[in-house]
Amino acid sequence: MLEELRALQKSLQQEKLSLFQRRVALGDLITDRWANAREYGFGEGTSCYDNVLILGDVRVGNNTWIGPNVILDGSGGGLVIGDYCSISAGVQIYTHNTVNWSVSLGKLPVEKNATRIGDGVYIGPNSVISMGVTIGDRAVIGAMSLVNIDVPSLKKAWGCPAIIAGDVDLDEVPK
């Protein structure tokens, strides 16, 4: 049976390479990203790779793309992600942290706070969104950013830690 599974993986991998010039994990070869999202109760048209780690109360709107190797942590009060968002590969979004619990040897509680991502938000690869952060509608988060501040709507932010770096230019967007 293992040989048959390997042969199936090889065949599916070759098909994926020829169609999309990419190689993905076995789970992503045999599952449908849109079906994955539907099984989580996410909105219509949303896709979610099989290797995404989803914890707790996570709600995602319509037509959102959740890339590979993402962590969506809703265990600390809920995570809400809006419509038409791009959550790039390797993004981590948290609603809790265990810093004080760890350094107090368990005497202090795990900190929890809801996190919200608005509509039309782009989050660049390998960015980390800390618990309690709100990112407004149509904001842009640069790659590899640590976002531990709120980002208003129509703003760009990047860095480690992230800073507000300017406005999103919508002049090119069709009305």
Q: Does residue 19 carry a pLDDT above 90?
A: no
Residues 91 and 146 in one domain: yes
Residue 172 within a domain: no
Q: Does residue 118 carry a pLDDT above 70?
A: yes
Q: Note the pLDDT of residue 28.
A: 84
Beta strands 47-48 and 146-147 are: unpaired
Residues 92 and 103 in one domain: yes
Residue 73 within a domain: yes
Mean pLDDT confidence for 11-25: 87
Residue 173 within a domain: no
Number of domains in the chain: 2
For residue 7, the one-letter residue type is A
Q: Does residue 173 carry a pLDDT above 80?
A: no
Residue 15 within a domain: yes
Tokens for 114? 């809801």
Which CATH number fits the domain that encloses residue 132?
2.160.10.10
> pLDDT band at residue 149, thresholds of 50, 70 and 90?
very high
Range of the domain at 120: 33-166
Q: Note the pLDDT of residue 175.
A: 66
> pLDDT band at residue 124, thresholds of 50, 70 and 90?
very high
Residue 157 within a domain: yes
Residues 1 and 82 in one domain: no
Residues 84 and 115 in one domain: yes
What pLDDT digit, counting tens, does each position of 23-77 carry?
888 888 888 999 999 999 999 999 999 999 999 999 999 999 999 999 999 999 9
In this structure, is the dihedral angle defined by the CA atoms of residues 172, 121, 90 and 19, taken in order, positive or negative? negative
For residue 154, the one-letter residue type is L
Residue 171 within a domain: no
* Among the ranges given (65-79, 119-133, 161-175), the one the predictor scored with the smallest mean pLDDT: 161-175
Which residues have CB under 8 Å from 139's CB, separation 6+? 118, 121, 122, 151, 152, 153, 154, 155, 156, 157, 168
